[in-house]
């Protein structure tokens, strides 16, 4: 096998794939990360622990072949980066697993291509669907017909999804379409309520425009309430997070350039996202485009302005004109906020600011819920095992609301509530703030 892991920091090195040697060298094999790893906690197998996976990456970097077992162990990783938070040596595991997946993807393309149907589906989703407003709108309309006709409830109620195998797994997590879709708001500017203190750009995501349109609207309202003029720039699109996590860095770079061109970062105090998974990748545009001379500096500037919405709001003097939300909530950390962006306090600070809201911490709130992008579809069994534990932790708090900060986690937790017979409501932290502001205005 060609030594594709050779390290080069020279311009143009972005074509190389595989974990970088200086990343691999950081691991001292101490094992302090093991207990933070959801797959190790489930399986107790060294090869499915961070240390074990790094060991395997080192073997491949040294010339060992990429085997089906290697692909399986790397594939079973959630890329949740819990190990990064636990590691005292500063191992950049997230970047390593992304590089390992890019190398596997290159190997697959050349030597072990997927079946025709799988290739078509992957190509359609990653190269067409996620970046096309037209296709996402069509998919959203079909999804809406499926749910509004009652077919969704019948299919779920009769357990028909189980008969469809992998396609059924996909259906299990299918989000609800929320017309009118947020695409209609792209290109608009929303005035600040009261004095304008900040001018921010809002990135609305890709699928979120269709399936989390109300969350996006709530995000804009809460920002307006806090003195922000909110611009939703035309020309924005998918951030490329799913592409990066699935071993497609070139695609991700193309999408990153598009977003950088669409959002002149110098015109804004901050660029805001309400999706922790997207935010983590958007903050890493500097790394992603470090070897692209025309974009490297712009990418760093863009990444420097990126803020998770909870991070941004918690850094302000929050508008206190909120009504009471008399409920009990437990907060699930999003891996890409807690571990990827090292933000844990901001969402909790916002929840604590809502009058009447009681917050009960669950144990292991920063352990992955098993969502992890498309992991819950491609590694459904492990994802469901992890989710079952998460729902036990949720249940033990007695909370009626699960607060989250990432649409992917919200879908997974909603599935958890449904499968485990709960009655909790899953809400974004920003939706709870929006609720409190509406309460102050006497709107339920
Ligand atoms: S990744 Fe970090 S914590 Fe885990 S074995 Fe390596 S050095 Fe230790
Ligand atoms: S990223 Fe998550 S699943 Fe993967 S090795 Fe680290 S802790 Fe384990």
Q: How does DSSP assign 264-294, residue by residue?
A: -GGG-SEEEES-HHHHHHHTTHHHHTTT-HH
With a 6 Å cutoff on the Cβ, whether 93 touches ligand 2 is yes
With a 6 Å cutoff on the Cβ, whether 37 touches ligand 2 is yes
100 CB-contact burial (10 Å; exposed 0-12 / middle 13-18 / buried 19+)? buried
Do the strands 189-190 and 228-231 form a parallel or antiparallel pair, or are they unpaired?
Answer: antiparallel
Report how far residue 429's alpha carbon sits from residue 435's, in angstroms, rounded to the nearest whole number. Answer: 10
With a 6 Å cutoff on the Cβ, whether 87 touches ligand 2 is no
Candidate of 32, 49, 50, 366 to mutate for ligand 2, largest count of ligand atoms within 8 Å of Cβ: 50
Ligand 1 atom nearest to 28, measured from its CA = 7
With a 6 Å cutoff on the Cβ, whether 51 touches ligand 2 is no
- Prior bond to 405 cis, omega within 30? no
For residue 27, the ligand closest to its alpha carbon is 1
> Using N-to-C axis directions, what is the helix angle for 249-262 and 293-305, rounded to 10°?
70
Closest protein CA for atom 2 of ligand 1: 87
Closest protein CA for atom 3 of ligand 1: 87
Q: What H or E segment, with its residue span, contains residue 308?
A: strand 306-308
Who lines ligand 1 at CB under 6 A?
Answer: 27-33, 50-51, 54, 83, 86-87, 89, 91
Report how far residue 37's alpha carbon sits from residue 78's, in angstroms, rounded to the nearest whole number. Answer: 9
Return the closest-CA partner of residue 281 out of 72, 138, 130: 130
SS3 355: coil
Q: Cα of 217 to ligand 1 centre, how many Å?
A: 41
Find all residues with CB under 8 Å of 54, minimum gap 6, and list them: 24, 27, 29, 91, 93, 96
Candidate of 83, 85, 99, 385 to mutate for ligand 2, largest count of ligand atoms within 8 Å of Cβ: 83
Please say whether the beta carbons of 208 and 181 come within 8 A.
no
**Distance between the two ends of the chain, CA-based, in angstroms?**
63
For residue 55, the ligand closest to its alpha carbon is 1
- 129: which DSSP letter? G
DSSP 55-89: HHHHHHHTTPPP-HHHHHHHHH-----HHHHH-TT
Ligand 2 atom nearest to 40, measured from its CA = 8
DSSP 130-197: GG-HHHHHHHHHHHHHHHHTTHHHHHHHTTGGGGGTHHHHHHHTPPPP-SSPGGGGTT-EEPPSSS--
Q: Cα of 201 to ligand 2 centre, how many Å?
A: 32
For residue 92, the ligand closest to its alpha carbon is 1
Closest protein CA for atom 4 of ligand 1: 33
Closest protein CA for atom 8 of ligand 1: 30
Closest protein CA for atom 6 of ligand 2: 83
- Stated pTM of the model: 0.91
Closest protein CA for atom 4 of ligand 2: 77
Per-residue pLDDT of the chain (444 residues; tens, 9 = 90+): 333 333 333 333 444 479 999 999 999 999 999 999 999 999 999 999 999 999 999 999 999 999 999 999 999 999 999 999 999 999 999 999 999 999 999 998 888 778 888 888 888 888 889 989 999 999 999 999 988 887 777 776 666 556 556 556 666 677 889 999 999 999 999 999 999 999 999 999 999 999 999 999 999 999 999 999 999 999 999 999 999 888 889 999 999 999 999 999 999 999 999 999 999 999 999 999 999 999 999 999 999 999 999 999 999 999 999 999 999 999 999 999 999 999 999 999 999 999 999 999 999 999 999 998 888 888 999 999 999 999 999 999 999 999 999 999 999 999 999 999 889 999 999 999 999 999 998 766
């Amino acid at each position: 096998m060609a030594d594709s892991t050779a390290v080069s920091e020279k311009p143009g090195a972005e074509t190389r794939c595989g974990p970088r040697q200086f990343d691999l060298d950081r691991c001292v094999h101490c094992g302090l990360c093991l207990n933070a790893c959801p797959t190790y906690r489930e399986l107790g197998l060294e090869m499915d622990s961070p240390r074990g996976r790094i060991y395997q990456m080192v073997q491949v970097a040294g010339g060992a072949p990429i085997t089906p077992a290697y692909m399986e162990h790397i594939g079973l990783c959630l890329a949740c980066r819990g190990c990064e938070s636990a590691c005292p040596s500063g191992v950049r595991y997230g970047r390593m697993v992304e590089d390992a997946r890019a190398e596997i993807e290159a190997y697959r393309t050349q030597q072990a291509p997927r079946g025709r149907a799988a290739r078509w589906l992957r190509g359609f989703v990653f190269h067409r669907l996620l970046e096309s407003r037209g296709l996402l709108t069509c998919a959203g309309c079909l999804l809406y017909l499926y749910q509004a006709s009652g077919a969704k409830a019948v299919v779920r109620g009769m357990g028909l999804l189980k008969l469809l195998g992998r396609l059924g797994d996909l259906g299990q997590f299918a989000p609800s379409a929320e017309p009118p879709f947020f695409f209609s708001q792209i290109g608009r500017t929303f005035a600040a309520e009261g004095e304008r203190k900040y001018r921010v750009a809002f990135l609305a995501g890709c699928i979120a425009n269709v399936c989390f349109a109300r969350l996006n609207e709530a995000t804009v309202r809460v920002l307006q309430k806090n003195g922000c003029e909110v611009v939703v720039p035309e020309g924005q699109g998918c951030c490329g997070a799913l592409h990066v996590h699935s071993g497609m860095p070139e695609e991700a770079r193309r999408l990153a350039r598009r977003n950088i061109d669409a959002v002149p970062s110098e015109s804004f105090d901050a660029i805001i996202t309400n999706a922790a998974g997207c935010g983590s990748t958007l903050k890493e545009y500097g790394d992603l485009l470090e070897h692209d001379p025309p974009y490297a500096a712009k990418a760093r500037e863009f990444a420097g302005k990126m803020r998770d919405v909870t991070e941004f709001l918690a850094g302000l003097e929050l508008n206190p004109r909120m009504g009471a939300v008399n409920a009990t909530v437990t907060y699930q950390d999003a891996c890409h906020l807690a571990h990827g962006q090292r933000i844990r306090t901001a969402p909790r600070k916002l929840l604590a600011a809502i009058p009447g809201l009681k917050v009960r911490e669950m144990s292991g709130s920063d352990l992955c819920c098993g969502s992890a992008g498309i992991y819950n579809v491609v590694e459904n069994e492990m994802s469901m095992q992890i989710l079952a534990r998460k729902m036990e932790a949720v249940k033990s708090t007695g909370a009626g609301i699960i607060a989250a900060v990432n649409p992917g986690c919200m879908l997974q937790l909603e599935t958890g509530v449904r499968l485990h017979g709960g009655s909790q409501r899953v809400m974004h932290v920003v939706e709870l703030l929006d609720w409190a502001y509406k309460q102050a205005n006497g709107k339920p």
